[in-house]
Chains A and B, each alone.
Chain A
Amino acid sequence: MRTAREYGLAVCQSCGWLVQDAPARCDRCGRKVHFRNPASLQKVWAYWLAGVIAYIPGNTYPIMITKSVAGENAATIIGGVLTLIHHQSYLVAGVVFIASIVIPVSKFLVIAWLALSIQRGQATGEHTRLHAYEATEFIGRWSMVDVFVVAALAALIQLGALVSIQPGIGIQAFALSVIFTMLSANAFDARLIWDREQDKENDDDNL
């Protein structure tokens, strides 16, 4: 299998046009075209770290504050899931648990694993890694579900002194974490998975 880079060609990542004098602007869609995205892994790690950091307050601070005649109750993400289980809403509890805990955590792990495998020059499991990357890119945005739930509930439950819901500061950090992890996955150049030492002579974009 010969790669485009071996012949001095670079593929535009947005429109697929082949460019002869990379790095240059794609002469069809105007995007900057590189043999490999410059500093791809550095960007991946930077956004990854920002995402992990934002994820911590996202989980420790309350995401939703319920005020009612019975008093005030501030719930975290995990607290909300436990309340749903307590009320036997297992399906919704499952959706929230998967979107807010399982997906973000597995995303952190998958991105770290992909970046480390590239840095170690791993030459096996390319198909598994490409699938893991595509799944991460596809599924990552679904973590925003909890943010929209909080916004909808806070808008809906406004019955004065009877009961009202306010968004908690944790949801802001959580949304930020989702956005950073999306950017991290976005910065990853899938072509790196298939690169081998011997075909790097044309590589002018340092990793």
Chain B
Amino acid sequence: MSEFHAENPLPQSADDLNAQYIACPHCDSLYVRPRLSENEKLECTRCHSIIMTNKVRSSERTLAAMIGALILYGVAVSFPFLSMERSGLENKISVIDCISVLWTNQMYLLSIALALLIVVLPVSRILLLVQVVGTIRVNGRAGWRNARALRWAQFLEPWSMAEIFMIGVIVSLVKVGKMANITVGPSFIALTVLIVLLTWTSTAMCRSTTWAALERKQ
């Protein structure tokens, strides 16, 4: 890895430019683009951010995890995740019930926000990643529409709050555990595995090689 020197004239074409140079997105330092061997990474000498990675079998692993996540999401949304019983009365709830209870209490905006944060956005993100990574896995490369899809998938990442919802469920479990009999349903297990899978994906997926496999709009 070496720093950029002013004596070198910059290539005119965008492809040559990007094949030869890379910049740190966090502090803007410019580097001559190195060739990374497997699992090697490029760290910025100024701000120590990781600029570039080369993780092995990134698209394969990500695709597997995303297909798994999609199935688990189906289970998580369709089955009850908690049921409580007290004095002969029983109540089972699913993810959808958490959203609709806000709607019936006239908190329409919050209800919509919850539907987006725990169902719509995470599922959209998973579908986008399946599309992008699946195409790369099959063809080795992918067209410019997939680049748009990957940009949206990245944008949706902080707004996909499945794992935070899960912690919320555990907290409420402890809160009411003493006043009633609580049992966990199939959805609870699906959500738990889903969290593990999504966390693992964020380390297994290589952004640099995924982006590098995407073509530009001509």
Contacts and interface: CB of A to CB of B under 8 A. Distances in A.
B203 interface: no
3 nearest A-B residue pairs (beta carbon) = A148-B168, A4-B23, A3-B28
A153 to B, nearest CB: 5
Interface stretch (A41-49, A104-112, A116-124, A154-162): A154-162
B148 A154 contact: no
A179 B172 contact: no
B154 A151 contact: no
Nearest to A15: B211
**Residue with the highest number of chain A CB atoms closer than 10 Å, among B45, B99, B113, B208:** B113
11 contacts: A28-B216, A29-B147, A30-B147, A130-B26, A130-B49, A142-B167, A145-B164, A145-B171, A163-B179, A175-B113, A186-B158
Interface in A161-178: 162-163, 166-167, 169, 171-172, 175
A95 B167 CA distance: 10
Contacts of A160: 89
Given A30-B147, A152-B93, A13 B25 contact: yes
A7 to B, nearest CB: 6
Given A18-B23, A31-B151, A167 B102 contact: yes
A190 B29 CA distance: 12
A89 B175 CA distance: 8
B36 interface: no
A interface, over-half SS? helix
B138 interface: no
A2 B107 contact: no
A116 to B, nearest CB: 19
A88 to B, nearest CB: 10
Contact of B86 (A4, A16, A148, A162): A162
Interface in B144-200: 144, 147-148, 150-151, 154-155, 158-159, 161, 164-165, 167-169, 171-172, 174-176, 178-179
Contacts of B171: 92, 95-96, 145, 149
B3 interface: yes
Interface residues of B, number: 73
Contact of B47 (A84, A157, A182, A194): A194
B78 interface: no
A171 to B, nearest CB: 7
B26 A16 contact: no
A27 interface: yes
Interface string B63-86: 000000000000000000010101
A162 B148 CA distance: 52
Interface range for A: 35 or more
A7 B211 CA distance: 23
Nearest to B108: A172
Interface in B13-58: 14, 17-18, 21-30, 45-49, 51-52
A126 interface: yes
B118 interface: yes
B114 interface: yes
A177 to B, nearest CB: 12
B102 A154 contact: yes
B82 A152 contact: yes
B10 A159 contact: no
B217 A130 contact: no
Contacts of B47: 126-127, 130, 194
